[in-house]
Amino acid sequence: MNEFKFEIIKNIGCLSEPNARGWRKEINLISWNGGKPKYDIRDWDEKHEKMGKGVTLSSEELTVLKSILNSVE
């Protein structure tokens, strides 16, 4: 299994309170393996050392998602 690197460039916000394990769902701007930063939604432990599965979005995809969510009543 290849090791990967990540750098949290900016914490955008927290989407949920800590769960039973103390993890929170967050949206962050993250650079994966030195690449262009992307928006990322996933669960993190409090020290940002361990993470759960998540979804990563480009700026364009985030704009589309925002438009879709704005149309929800």
pLDDT single digits (tens) 18-59? 999 999 999 999 999 999 999 999 999 999 999 999 999 999
Cα separation, 52 vs 66, whole angstroms? 23
Q: Is pLDDT at 1 greater than 90 in this prediction?
A: no
* Alpha-carbon distance values, 1 to 4, 62 (Å): 9, 30
Nearest partner of 26 among 2, 1, 9, judged by Cα:
9
Structural domain that includes position 45: 6-70
Q: What's the pLDDT at 51?
A: 95
1, part of any domain: no
53, part of any domain: yes
Query: Structurally, how many domains does the chain consist of?
Result: 1
Q: Is pLDDT at 12 greater than 80 in this prediction?
A: yes
Q: What's the pLDDT at 4?
A: 84
18, part of any domain: yes
54, part of any domain: yes
65, part of any domain: yes
Q: Is pLDDT at 2 greater than 80 in this prediction?
A: no
Q: What's the pLDDT at 52?
A: 95
Cα separation, 64 vs 8, whole angstroms? 23
